[in-house]
């Protein structure tokens, strides 16, 4: 038998073997792509603004949708509110509440008429506000009657509420939830300890919490150490899979539901 005959006879075997291998490969299911990690969102509020324009303008320069919480009894409240509004930042009233003092501060012994007068004056002092959060207020936010009145008034004004949660006894968010007022609660204070190391650690705590529960609300202050950390770290959030959204988007995302640190089953306690 010639060599050419052997080659011709080997070709069908070769084709059959290839078909069998192809069939065998096709019988294995295609490997699924790994699931995408869940979305994690953070929002940032900077409190105590309106006191120092050069310092506060660093907040406006932060690379994202920072919420500016402006105190009504500061020398630059109205001017900075206008600047923040022009810069496209959300402005909220940082409302003084007991144990805070001053002409706008709310105290438990004040009648509703005086609370209303002080709130109206505070809104007049800080233009372009979309909502409010409490400055201090550990005594005041524990008052159910006053908080219920406040939430009803904010609803009438079409403004939202952010509970800074300066006290474990706060009932503010619970009263907002009862009437369906748009609201959200703080998860992490960034700068109770004013060192860059501690602030960086708190930022990482917020990021971990956002990954765990899909979102985290951070509050900080315009301290030099806080601003230094934020200027350095905020541009890196995207690379860590974290989305920085504005406070209105966060309220919408959470749909007025309490996180596990604020209540149970979505209900504020």
- Angle (CA) 114-117-120 rounded to 5° is 150
Question: Is the pTM for the entire model greater than 0.75?
Answer: yes
Residue 209, classified by CB atoms within 10 Å of its CB into exposed (0-12), middle (13-18) or buried (19+), is: buried
CATH number of 40-254: 3.20.20.370
The contacts of residue 91 (CB under 8 Å, 6+ apart) are 67, 68, 70, 81, 84, 85, 126, 127, 128, 129, 130
* Per-residue 3-state assignment (H helix, E strand, C coil) for 142-166: HCHHHHHHHHHHHHHHCCEEEECCC
Ramachandran assignment for 228, one of left (phi > 0), alpha (psi -120 to 50 degrees), beta (any other): alpha
How many Å apart are CA 221 and CA 51, to the nearest integer?
12
Instruction: Name which of 84, 79, 98 is nearest 45 in CA terms.
Output: 84
Distance CA 259, CA 114 (A): 33
- Tens of pLDDT along the chain (269 residues) come to 444 443 334 444 445 555 544 554 455 555 665 565 679 999 999 999 999 999 999 999 999 999 999 999 999 999 999 999 999 999 999 999 999 999 999 999 999 999 999 999 999 999 999 999 999 999 999 999 999 999 999 999 999 999 999 999 999 999 999 999 999 999 999 999 999 999 999 999 999 999 999 999 999 999 999 999 999 999 999 999 999 999 999 999 999 999 999 999 999 98
What does the domain layout of the chain look like in residue ranges? 40-254
């Amino acid at each position: 038998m010639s060599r050419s005959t052997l080659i011709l006879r080997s070709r069908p075997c070769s084709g059959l073997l290839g078909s069998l291998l192809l069939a065998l490969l096709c019988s294995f299911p295609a490997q699924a792509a790994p699931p995408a990690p869940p979305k994690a969102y953070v929002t940032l509020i900077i409190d105590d603004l309106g006191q120092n324009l050069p310092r506060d303008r660093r907040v406006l320069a932060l690379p994202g949708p920072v919420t500016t919480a402006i105190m009504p009894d500061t020398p630059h409240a109205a001017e900075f509110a206008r600047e923040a509004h022009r810069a496209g930042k959300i402005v909220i009233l940082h409302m003084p509440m007991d144990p805070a003092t001053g002409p706008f501060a709310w105290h438990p012994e004040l009648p509703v008429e005086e609370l209303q007068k002080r709130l109206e004056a505070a809104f007049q002092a800080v233009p372009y506000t979309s909502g409010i959060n409490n400055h201090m207020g550990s005594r005041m936010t524990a008052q159910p009657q006053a908080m219920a009145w406040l939430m009803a008034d904010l609803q009438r004004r079409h403004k939202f509420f952010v509970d800074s949660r300066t006290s474990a006894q706060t009932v503010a968010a619970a009263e907002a939830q009862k009437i369906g007022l748009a609201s959200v609660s703080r998860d992490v204070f960034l700068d109770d300890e004013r060192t860059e190391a501690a602030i960086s650690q708190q930022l990482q705590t917020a990021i971990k919490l956002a990954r765990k529960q899909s979102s985290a609300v951070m509050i900080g202050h315009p301290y030099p150490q806080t601003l230094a950390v934020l200027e350095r770290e905020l541009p890196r959030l995207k690379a860590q899979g974290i989305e920085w959204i504005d406070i209105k988007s966060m309220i919408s995302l959470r749909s007025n539901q309490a996180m596990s640190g604020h209540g149970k089953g979505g209900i504020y306690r």
